[in-house]
Amino acid sequence: MKAYLSLIRIDLKLAFRQRVVIFFNLLMPLALFMIFAEINRTERSGGIGGVVTMVSVIGILGTGLFGAGMRAAQEREANVLRRYKVAPITPLPLLVASMVTGLAVYMPFVVLMLTVAHVRYGMNVPSNLASVLVFIALGVTAIRSIGLIVGAVVNSTQESGILVQVLYMSMLFLSGATFPTQMFPAWLLKVSRFVPAAYIVNGLQSILLRHETLWTNWPGAAALLLTTAVGLLLSVKLFRWEKEEKLRPAAKLWLLAVLLPFALPGLWHLYTGA
């Protein structure tokens, strides 16, 4: 436990010392939120809940894929991880510390965004506020676990950048975060059933707009929780301390394993036609 606490403390200090972390996890998402809110004139239309959902998902994808996936590859390539190799620790404390740091950096923005939404745009404080925060936290850990898998299977920072961009853009546009799924043709709507971020979008819309609870959305919450567990286990299995340790290109197929919790419901929807 001492190793976990020490690494979490070190990661948090490093994160909050970097201006780029503060900018991309707090200032830029807040600016995006206010821009979208003003464009949509949500103080008149009452659509602030949709803007909160959209910006939340954009932030979750950013902190999960870029914050975890690219950083892990950069640290291995810069021989930062090699320094920990001589310490009597396993990869798990390092990965758990990354997960906790991601939550600690992102969740204050969520609280700030909800505060601005209430004060500036007249959004009612959600009666199920705990469900909102817990579901967003589950989304952060799930996408961050996918990012950790990306960092584990790539052999260079360039590879991580390409893979992260592919995952980020596909999740962003196919989840319904930027374009409503009502605009999708039937075949694209079926494809979206396999996109992890779509479960985050649907869950947040259900909780924020329809005032449902976390329990009502237990299938999506369970899929996010299972993804977190599978992602951590696979990240430990594939962890490499040094950049000289290379994985075969086929190792990238491990990403499919961490996406399995979302593939099964997608297949079920295809089977039932729901």
Do the beta carbons of residue 88 and residue 7 sit within 8 Å?
no
Nearest to 99 by CA among 177, 165, 151: 151
pLDDT at 270 over 70: no
Closest CA to 258 of 181, 163, 177: 163
CA distance 39 to 181: 20
pLDDT tens digit sequence for 190-238 = 888 888 888 999 999 899 888 888 888 888 899 899 999 988 888 888 8
**Inter-CA distances, 14 with 5, 10, 29, 30, 55, Å:** 14, 6, 20, 22, 25
For residue 45, what pLDDT is reported? 47
Eight-class DSSP state of 17: H
- Tell me which DSSP letter residue 24 carries: I
Question: What is the arithmetic mean of pLDDT over 256-272?
Answer: 72
For the stretch 181-201, pLDDT in tens is 788 888 788 888 888 888 999
DSSP 8-state symbol, 65: I
- Under the banding of pLDDT at 50, 70 and 90, the label for residue 42 is low
DSSP 181: G
